[in-house]
Amino acid sequence: MVTINDIAELAGVAKSTVSRYLNNGQVSAATRLKIEKVINETGYRPNPFARSLKAQHTYMIGVIIPRLNSPSTNNVLGGIDEEAHKRGYQLIITNSNQDDAREAENIDMLTKQKVAGIIIFGREMNDALAEKVRQSSIPILVLGQEIKGVHSIVHADYQAGKKMAEHALALGHRKILFVGVTPKDYAVGVLRKNGFIEEAQKNGATVQTIETTFSKKDTYQKALKFLKNTQATYIACATDNIAIAVLKAAYELGYKVPEDFSLSGFGGYESTNYVNPAITTVTYPYWELGIYAMDNLRKLLKTQEIPETIEMKNELNIKASTRSLTRSKD
């Protein structure tokens, strides 16, 4: 088993220098690179509990997720875990199950566990919860929702909506249905939706809206009803899961996509490639977000300055579910 002595010898530095590096102490940039190179080559992983005792703070990171069945959450978690493991941190993952009270309880519990910092997957951040985050005694980084006075990493959701609307318009669609979610989720329910609708309406399109939940089951049941009445030639869904549910309902009702209407989602979930037709979507860098989140939380732990809000880019991924409008549905 590789020890701290082995790392020091291979890097050509003193054991105390390696210890200082591992505990986020002052080490020159050149020395830091040498130590990191040896650690990466040897696969050395410091014991987070032993380090906690020496440094008087833990090498544990708390992560609060909103639900267990989200593909995007799983991808972001993968990136966080990869970077945390690389840096010698361990994760304590808690689930709020989309409940504000549980989310607040999780923050309190993780703080009592003396985690070094917390990453929260933001959703419906009410005023009380936002204030709890602001008043936290340990660094907290929020993902997906922008909160004033709190370090956040967000997606460019308004721009994503705008991109998808531009795609629909370029294909000739002017009768559009947007299937969204509650505005309590500001990023998905407001920014993403507004980006799409404002761009579409600005260019002469008529946009109707229907609100559903993030649940495929709920959306499927609603789609069985609203698909019978819509005259839309293009249906834009706030998430890929919502789009998949609409696609299932469409085929059960005898509609064909994209012959009867084009269909798109947001997220870039892998599952959009395994339905027929594959669904046009906006792809978000979820894994990269996880890595970036852990890296920025480490900077906060070292009291380094980072921007209060960081925005991640996304890209349109056109597939077979959208096509140029050659004739009106009606």
Co-location of 167 and 63 in the same domain: no
By DSSP bridging, strand 281-283 and strand 315-317 are antiparallel
d(CA 278, CA 320): 5
Residue with tokens 């607040």: 104
Co-location of 197 and 117 in the same domain: no
Per-residue pLDDT at 73? 92
Co-location of 264 and 309 in the same domain: no
234: in domain: yes
CA angle 43/45/51 to nearest 5° reads: 160
Co-location of 38 and 65 in the same domain: no
d(CA 40, CA 33): 10
Co-location of 145 and 197 in the same domain: no
Give me the number of domains the chain comprises: 3
324: in domain: no
Residue 116 belongs to a domain with what CATH number?
A: 3.40.50.2300
On the question of a cis peptide bond just before residue 48, with omega within 30 degrees of 0, the verdict is: no
88: in domain: yes
191: in domain: yes
Co-location of 30 and 122 in the same domain: no
Per-residue pLDDT at 57? 57
Per-residue pLDDT at 47? 60
Per-residue pLDDT at 24? 63
Co-location of 132 and 247 in the same domain: no
Per-residue pLDDT at 48? 55
49: in domain: no
319: in domain: no
Per-residue pLDDT at 53? 44
CB 197 within 8 A of CB 209: yes
178: in domain: yes
Three-state SS letters, 202-221 = HCCCEEEEEECCCCHHHHHH
Co-location of 163 and 277 in the same domain: yes
Co-location of 113 and 196 in the same domain: no
Co-location of 150 and 59 in the same domain: yes
Domain of 267 in residue numbering reads as: 157-283
Co-location of 230 and 208 in the same domain: yes
322: in domain: no
Co-location of 123 and 87 in the same domain: yes
DSSP code string of 276-298 = SSPPBEEE--HHHHHHHHHHHHH
Flag residues of the chain having pLDDT under 70: 23-25, 46-57, 327-330
Per-residue pLDDT at 202? 96
Per-residue pLDDT at 106? 93
By DSSP bridging, strand 151-155 and strand 175-180 are unpaired
